[in-house]
A = this chain, B = another copy of it.
Amino acid sequence: MHTPNESAALLDGIRVFIEPAHVRSDPDSCLNYGRDWTRLYTPNPLAVVLPGTVEQVQQLVRYANEHRLALVPSGGRTGLSGAAVACRGELVVSLERMSRILDFDPTDRSVTCQAGVVTEAVQNFARDHGLYYPVDFASRGSSQIGGNIATNAGGIKVIRYGLTRDWVTGLKVVTGCGDLLDLNRGLIKNASGYDLRHLFIGSEGTLGIIVEATLKLTRPLREPSVMVLGVPDLDSVMSLYHILRNKLELSAFEFFSERALRHVLKKGLHRPFDTETPYYVLVEFENPEQLHTDTALALFEHCAEQGWLADGVISQSESQVKELWRLREDISESIAEYQPYKNDVSVRISRVPDFLAEADTLLTQEYPDFEVLWYGHIGDGNLHINILKPVGMNPTAFAQKCGAVSEHLFAILQRHGGSISAEHGVGLTKKPYLHYTRDETEVNYLRAIKQVFDPNRIMNPGKIFD
């Protein structure tokens, strides 16, 4: 930490190459830019800097090296692992002023943009050009492309379209040394040595700052239909997964529990059908000119006869597609007031039933008084486990109790070869548990790679690993 005088001098030094108005140390800015969607840490940045050009980012990184100043790269701060939190006097580097779309080519079907572009802006841009950017999730309206790349964001269409990683064909980054790398430049094929692009994807700001990206686009989904199915048990969820993905061109296979559903219903949504079941599955598939509706209905009949589902509904219009999606997508926001302790884990799909059963037993036993909600992306082996804080309970005590149970949960996960973070990243919240997924030898290689790109440890220090 610096004395007030030292801090002022450091910021004055930055104001030499970045417009003074964009070097902010007022309490409001520090509060807002110093945190993400986790609320476990007290924001305490030195200041917030908003560079407007790649050159300014480079100057800032060089300056930070000179003065051993820790930098926290900042996107839309919708993260759930604390990777964008600045609570130790760091300088927050917000890319929000760098939010232009720079280039588009219809032949390449690719768009180049600055890192601060909001996800939804890319999606809309693609749509306006008859194309589609398929990486999608509930925070699309505020998350930024740079942040998506830094966490390798997943979301609701992974089963068909993969992760953010699969859509990045070019990346401009400023490394922790201040070097500007122009990686892969939008090429489809490029076998010219190690692909550094993939190191920066998912690096959570610990290797450098992503300043520009080239993203692939694809043709839009053809008139997607959505079914929501009421399912009696987990085995039936898996049976549905098997049969539906073989017969339909699935773009989503999502899952949520009756308990989770009740929270969105409280917010004014309606039950998809009268029957209550312990679990629900949301399935999306391409259905141009209702071509596959008969197939879907026949499958529905068949699955009902097998006892794999108790009720269901299929969308009849575009607006119904959106309504049905809200049943799944609004869950996270509907429980935000309970300050849930979030686990975002993954296993191989084949391991989901066993893992879920063991985890359910553990959580029922350890949390008799807490409400536990399950939902997630079954088709990716990705489960979100949300533990709701009882009203009035002290947040720190709640987090501690949940953290202790996490050790047991992750031990189960480790036996199933799973990951402690499927798509939220490690940041601060999952750092203590990293060893359940990456062994010490691997983590030492991660450390050595950080050393290559950030020898002075100025880039988001203390995130992912120490």
Enumerate chain B residues within 8 angstroms of A8, measured Cβ to Cβ: none
A70 at interface, CB cutoff 8 A? no
In the complex this chain forms, how many copies of it are found? Answer: 2
Task: Choose one: B182, B191, B198; the contact of A198 (CB below 8 Å).
Answer: B198
A420 touches B192 (CB 8 A): yes
Enumerate chain B residues within 8 angstroms of A278, measured Cβ to Cβ: none
Task: Choose one: B105, B192, B199, B434; the contact of A421 (CB below 8 Å).
Answer: B192
A423 touches B191 (CB 8 A): yes
Docked Cα-Cα span, A381 to B189, in Å, equals 8
Across the two chains, which residue of chain B brings its CB closest to A246?
B219
Task: Choose one: B188, B423, B445, B453; the contact of A349 (CB below 8 Å).
Answer: B188
A348 touches B154 (CB 8 A): no
Tell me how many residues of A have a C-beta within 8 Å of chain B.
Answer: 77
A202-B196 CB under 8 A given contacts A107-B242, A452-B449: no
A422 touches B453 (CB 8 A): no
Enumerate chain B residues within 8 angstroms of A423, measured Cβ to Cβ: 189, 191
Enumerate chain B residues within 8 angstroms of A446, measured Cβ to Cβ: 193-194, 196
A313 at interface, CB cutoff 8 A? no
A350 at interface, CB cutoff 8 A? yes
Whole-angstrom distance between the Cβ of A130 and the nearest chain B Cβ: 9
A188-B452 CB under 8 A given contacts A196-B442, A441-B179, A442-B181: no
Across the two chains, which residue of chain B brings its CB closest to A153?
B191
A193 touches B154 (CB 8 A): no
Docked Cα-Cα span, A21 to B377, in Å, equals 51
Across the two chains, which residue of chain B brings its CB closest to A249?
B219
Give me 8 A-to-B residue pairs in the complex whose CB atoms sit less than 8 angstroms apart, sorted by A's number: A175-B445, A181-B441, A185-B417, A187-B347, A192-B430, A194-B446, A194-B449, A445-B452
Interface residue ranges, A against B (CB under 8 Å): 105, 107-108, 110, 151-152, 154, 158, 162-163, 165-166, 175, 179-183, 185-196, 198-199, 201-203, 207, 219, 238, 241-242, 246, 346-350, 377, 380-382, 417-426, 430, 434, 437-439, 441-443, 445-446, 448-449, 451-453, 464-465
